[in-house]
Structure 1
Amino acid sequence: MPLLARTVNTPLVIDVRRGAVADLGALLADRRISAGGEVAVVVGPGQGERIAELCRPGLGNADVFTVTGGTLDAAQELGDNLHRRSYDAVVGIGGGKTIDTAKWAASRYGIPMVTVATSLAHDGIASPTASLDHDGGKGSYGVHIPIAIVVDLDFVENGPDRQTQAGIGDALSNLSAVADWELAHRVRQEPIDGLAVTLARSGAEALLNHPGKITDDAFLTTLAEALILGGIASSICGSTRPVSGGCHEISHALDRLNPGTGSHGEQVGLGALFCTFLRGDLERFGQLASCLHRHGLPTTPAELGISDEEFVAAVHYAPNTRPDRYTVLEHLDLPPAQIGERLANYIDALREHLG
């Protein structure tokens, strides 16, 4: 009997709506994740502590741990605390740093992880990776995909608009990442996973073509779903290939050469737009440029707060951040002078398109 299907890891439940946090205890019980609330609740500064109090009535046997920073040291300390008691699950409540800290610690001891996201800044809410700071910089660590994902739009709405804008940039960059993967498949016969491509691209396409604003529930739901689909796509293929291409290489280079320039989502959004221009896909370039501009994301180095020369240096350095990855940047292998010429043409094309 031939194997006609494959098994993929996905969350047991995805709940994106207003008021979702109030039903967390019931959700854990109904899905048999934790019938008695024997969970470790991990919160960060800000909205996380407030949400933990709202959840407490339904999680009577929970322990609450407060973490700060999103560092490897904090994740290791949390892991040591989790090891002292038997928990049904770890519930990470907060933004990306808090969730990544909880994901790493939960994975270390094989405890199911539940994500309760208070922002939609990037696809870490569902991804099988945790990005943590350490003495040598920032590392990306493989972790288990969350067993459940809860996004309460009430708390997303109350957060900074810039976080939501960053999430838009991160989700849209999947279009460029997938194009880079397809390029590597054509040029170097790199294996490609069609299911991962479908999930990453379909979520980003839905966001790209959504007419709403970040104040609209329907748009926020589409954004949440796009970020979650990106995370699941990475889990399916076992790498970040469907969500990380030349766009992310440029962002990593900016982090190295110009730290503090912008948020991750702002940087990968700009990187995706420039990489799309380099690939000569002018139709997609126009779509991305319009969407990024409409939602207030930077489309030029100046809007990101750096000079053209600094951006050129980052693009030239970018392939060094992921030597194993083949993208349009490695394919073209442009020297700084030619990158500068392409950037000038890119800015001219932007002016023509955006007016």
Structure 2
Amino acid sequence: MLPSPLTIDVRRGAIASLGSVLSDRRIATEGRIAVAVGPGQGAQIAADLDLPNCEVFQVEGGSIDVATELGKKIRSGAYEAVAGIGGGKTIDVTKYAASMAGVPMVAVATNLAHDGIASPTASLEHESGKGTYGVSMPIAVVIDVDYVRAAPPRLVRSGVGDVVSNLSAIADWELAGREQGEPVDGMAVTFARVAAEAVLHRRDSVESQEFLTVLAEALVLSGMAMSVAGSSRPASGACHEILHAITHLYPGVSNHGELAGIGALYASFLRVKHLDESERRVQDIRACLLRHELPVVPSDVGLDTEQFVRAVAHAPATRPGRYTILEHLDLSEDEIRRSVGEYVETLGR
């Protein structure tokens, strides 16, 4: 049986159904629900809803300490379930806390910044940077397109970069299968690829309700791909190694989805250059990123060439044991520097 949420509700006005979702006896038999809200729209949503048996907890930040503290509160309060209302950090904190407390979690997303909405992983900050932790998949997912449209456009656009990066992650997984004998889950690959392709060639933008619906569904499907695989493999390869290296070395630079897009484009460029793969995929990804006003080269996010070279060199250390185009090529720093120069010259604006 494929792992999937009991309910996936993506539409305008979906928030109005949250009360009935939380009252589902498959989620909570007595209706004792904790609600975790972030600093943005989450608090307002919780205030607007009529949830008499719910207790609201404010979530500040996205650290492992915050998630652990929330988990303790959920466990000590004997809550049956928890709803996380907010952006990616709030949802990741709530997923971790729910898993720690052993209760189901309902994800209520207010933006589409990345594919963690329905994934079985949580990306949390710790004293040494950021780590990815295995958690239970949300039991229900609610995405109200009206609230998403009210989020900062940059956050919504960044989800495009994250879901399109699946194409690079899949290529890395298939490379690991050929070179290392790593098992590749065909169903997970299908979910991840369909999610990316659903967005890749669309000509509309985040101003369009139809596009937001497709993007939301693609991000949910990407999360389900990870659940099927039992890891982040179908949505995280060299693209995310580079992303995590940048966030570790240069905290505060850009955001998850934007960096995933740059990482995917650079990794795809390496495959063309060193593995003789078709240039079409590189051009498709680049065109998609540009169409949605997303960065394509390091300078677009304020990094110079040397900083990006350092990040690429450090990238494999962020995911020990994961085999991608970076591990396959094992380029020296000088070779990375030359490749980055060629990448910028070839694919820059």
Alpha-carbon distance in 2 for matches of 1:299, 1:237 = 29
Q: Alignment partner for residue 123 of structure 2, among 131, 142, 148? A: 131
Shift of 1:271: 0.6
Matches within 5 A, 1:22-33: 22-29=16-23, 32-33=26-27
Higher mean Cα deviation, 175-184 or 95-104? 95-104
**Secondary structure in 2 matching 1:323:** coil
Partner of 2:170: 178
Shift of 1:288: 0.4
Q: Alignment partner for residue 154 of structure 2, among 157, 162, 171? A: 162
Q: Is the 8 A contact 1:42 1:66 kept in 2?
A: yes
Alpha-carbon distance in 2 for matches of 1:171, 1:192 = 19
Partner of 1:50: 44
TM-score, normalising length: structure 1? 0.93
Q: Is the 8 A contact 2:163 2:218 kept in 1?
A: yes
Gaps of 5+ in 2: 273-277
Q: Is the 8 A contact 1:119 1:156 kept in 2?
A: yes
Partner of 2:11: 17
Q: Alignment partner for residue 247 of structure 2, among 243, 250, 255? A: 255
For residues 276-308 of structure 1, what are the alpha-carbon distances to aligned partners after superposition, in whole Å with 9 as ceiling and x for unaligned?
011013100000000001101111111111111
For residues 181-226 of structure 1, what are the alpha-carbon distances to aligned partners after superposition, in whole Å with 9 as ceiling and x for unaligned?
0011111111100000000110001110222100111111111111
Alpha-carbon distance in 1 for matches of 2:229, 2:147 = 31
**Secondary structure in 2 matching 1:114:** strand
Shift of 1:31: 6.7
Question: Aligned in 2, Cα 1:348/1:133: closer, same or farther, shift over 3 Å?
Answer: closer
Alpha-carbon distance in 2 for matches of 1:212, 1:30 = 36
Partner of 1:328: 325
Partner of 2:35: 41
TM-score, normalising length: structure 2? 0.95
Q: Alignment partner for residue 190 of structure 1, among 182, 185, 190? A: 182
Q: Is the 8 A contact 1:127 1:228 kept in 2?
A: yes
Higher mean Cα deviation, 254-263 or 230-239? 254-263
Partner of 1:3: none
For residues 107-126 of structure 1, what are the alpha-carbon distances to aligned partners after superposition, in whole Å with 9 as ceiling and x for unaligned?
11211100000111111111
Q: Alignment partner for residue 292 of structure 2, among 272, 291, 295? A: 295
Partner of 2:106: 114
Alpha-carbon distance in 1 for matches of 2:287, 2:326 = 23
Q: Which amino acid aligns with 1:206?
A: A
Alpha-carbon distance in 2 for matches of 1:308, 1:39 = 49
Q: Does 1:209 align with 2:201?
A: yes
Q: Which amino acid aligns with 1:52?
A: A
Shift of 1:340: 2.2
Alpha-carbon distance in 1 for matches of 2:104, 2:39 = 23
Question: Aligned in 2, Cα 1:195/1:311: closer, same or farther, shift over 3 Å?
Answer: same
Partner of 1:345: 342
Q: Is the 8 A contact 2:10 2:216 kept in 1?
A: yes
**Secondary structure in 2 matching 1:262:** coil
Q: Which amino acid aligns with 1:87?
A: Y
Alpha-carbon distance in 1 for matches of 2:37, 2:59 = 6
Alpha-carbon distance in 2 for matches of 1:32, 1:187 = 44
Superposed CA RMSD in Å reads 1.5
Partner of 1:68: 60
Q: Is the 8 A contact 1:25 1:37 kept in 2?
A: no
Alpha-carbon distance in 2 for matches of 1:81, 1:64 = 11
Q: Which amino acid aligns with 2:253?
A: T
Shift of 1:48: 0.7
Q: Which amino acid aligns with 1:159?
A: A
Q: Is the 8 A contact 1:37 1:60 kept in 2?
A: no
Shift of 1:132: 1.5
Higher mean Cα deviation, 265-274 or 312-321? 312-321
Q: Which amino acid aligns with 1:18?
A: R
Alpha-carbon distance in 2 for matches of 1:107, 1:32 = 17
Q: Alignment partner for residue 87 of structure 1, among 76, 79, 90? A: 79
Q: Is the 8 A contact 2:71 2:100 kept in 1?
A: yes
Alpha-carbon distance in 1 for matches of 2:68, 2:180 = 39
Alpha-carbon distance in 2 for matches of 1:218, 1:147 = 25
- How many aligned residue pairs are there? 344
**Secondary structure in 1 matching 2:130:** strand
Q: Does 1:98 align with 2:90?
A: yes
